[in-house]
């Protein structure tokens, strides 16, 4: 099929969709108008009901916690799928040597790279931790902080090299973090049911507002999401990195 024919077909399909698009476009609220009643209720009721000041976390981990369980398992499925696809061909062993084009010289890492990575990797990890811990107070949370921590791990790779990185971050740990984090999040939902409440009911003491450990169950859910996100992203980095390595046995052959 030529690109032109493809585009023509696509245009026809778009024409069929046009009435629906038009209807939705007409129904959009004017930009900047007062927000919907649902969001306004959460903004008003969230702080007194849950003793936390970050309403995005309140939506994610409490008021719409059930939806986040879905998101969490989408994350788990996507990571599991990607890792299975990549490991399926390669097996579980780790390649010892980097694949490189024959004849290309192997250069040492520049000292400035090592310095920058050593200075910034701990700082980024610390910043990620700060983001995770302050989910209920200031902007941040398990999702954002987890991604930042996992990205900080890449800087460790940049500064210390592949072998040191693999020793520091064994893939089994990340497997356990990804699965364990998701399990803990699910248990946060099921636990209150076992105690006689409803799914994800906030039965723990709520603490005082503007305190890092306020929000009761939200603190635990936030930590479990952070663990799962760190594990998932680090595992993805690891597996894609492993794609660029040559297996030792092949090298010797």
Partner 1 sequence: MSVLPWLVAAWLFCVGIYGIVTSRNFVHLIGCLSVCQSSTYVLLLGIGYQWGAVAPIFYDHPPGTPAVDPVVQALVLTDIVVGATVTALLLAMALQVSRKHETLDPQKLRPFIDEGRR
The Cα 216–Cα 205 span in angstroms is: 5
The Cα 162–Cα 166 span in angstroms is: 6
Query: Would you give the DSSP letter of residue 36?
Result: P
- Following CA atoms 192, 196, 201, 205 in sequence, which dihedral angle do they give, to the nearest 10 degrees? -80
Residue closer to partner 1, measured from CB, 95 or 141 = 141
The Cα 203–Cα 217 span in angstroms is: 7
Residue closer to partner 1, measured from CB, 124 or 236 = 236
Site membership for partner 1, residue 91 (CB under 8 A)? no
Of 20, 22, 23, 33, the one binding partner 1 (CB under 8 A) is 33
Contact pattern for partner 1 over residues 39 through 78, marking x by CB under 8 A = xx-xxx-xxx----xxxx-xxx---x---x--x--xx--x
Q: Choose the stretch contacting partner 1; rule: CB under 8 A; options: 93-101, 123-131, 137-145, 156-164.
A: 137-145
The Cα 9–Cα 1 span in angstroms is: 10
Residue closer to partner 1, measured from CB, 58 or 156 = 58
Q: How far is the CB of 203 from partner 1 (least distance, A)?
A: 22
Of 50, 95, 143, 245, the one binding partner 1 (CB under 8 A) is 143
The Cα 166–Cα 148 span in angstroms is: 19
Site membership for partner 1, residue 131 (CB under 8 A)? no
The Cα 156–Cα 76 span in angstroms is: 24
15: tokens are 């024409």
Spatial CA neighbour of 148 closest among 164, 126, 167? 126
- What is the binding site for partner 1 (CB under 8 A)? 1, 3, 6-7, 10, 25, 28-36, 38-40, 42-44, 46-48, 53-56, 58-60, 64, 68, 71, 74-75, 78-79, 81-82, 85-86, 89, 137-139, 141, 143-144, 146-147, 210, 229, 232-233, 236, 239-240, 243
């Amino acid at each position: 099929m030529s690109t032109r024919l493809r585009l023509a077909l696509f245009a026809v399909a778009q024409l069929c969709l046009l009435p629906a698009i038009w209807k939705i476009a007409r129904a959009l609220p004017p930009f900047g108008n007062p927000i919907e009643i649902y969001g306004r209720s959460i903004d008003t009721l969230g702080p007194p009901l849950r003793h936390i000041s970050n309403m995005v976390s309140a939506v994610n981990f409490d008021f719409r916690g059930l939806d986040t369980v879905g998101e969490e398992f989408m994350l788990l499925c996507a990571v599991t799928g990607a890792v299975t696809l990549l490991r399926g061909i390669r097996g579980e062993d780790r390649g010892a040597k980097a694949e490189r084009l024959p004849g290309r010289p192997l250069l040492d890492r520049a000292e400035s790279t090592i310095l920058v990575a050593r200075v910034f990797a701990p700082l980024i990890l610390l910043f990620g931790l700060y983001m995770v811990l302050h989910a209920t107070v200031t902007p941040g949370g398990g999702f954002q902080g987890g991604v930042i921590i996992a990205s900080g791990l890449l800087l460790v790779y940049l500064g210390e090299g592949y072998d040191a990185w693999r020793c520091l971050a064994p893939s089994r740990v990340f497997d356990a973090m990804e699965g364990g984090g998701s399990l803990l999040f699910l248990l946060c939902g099921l636990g209150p049911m076992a105690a006689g409440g409803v799914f994800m009911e906030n039965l723990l003491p709520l603490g005082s507002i503007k305190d890092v450990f306020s929000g009761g169950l939200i603190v635990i859910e936030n930590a479990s999401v952070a663990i799962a996100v760190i594990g998932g992203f680090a595992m993805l980095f690891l597996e894609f990195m492993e794609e660029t390595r040559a297996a030792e046995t092949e090298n010797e052959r």
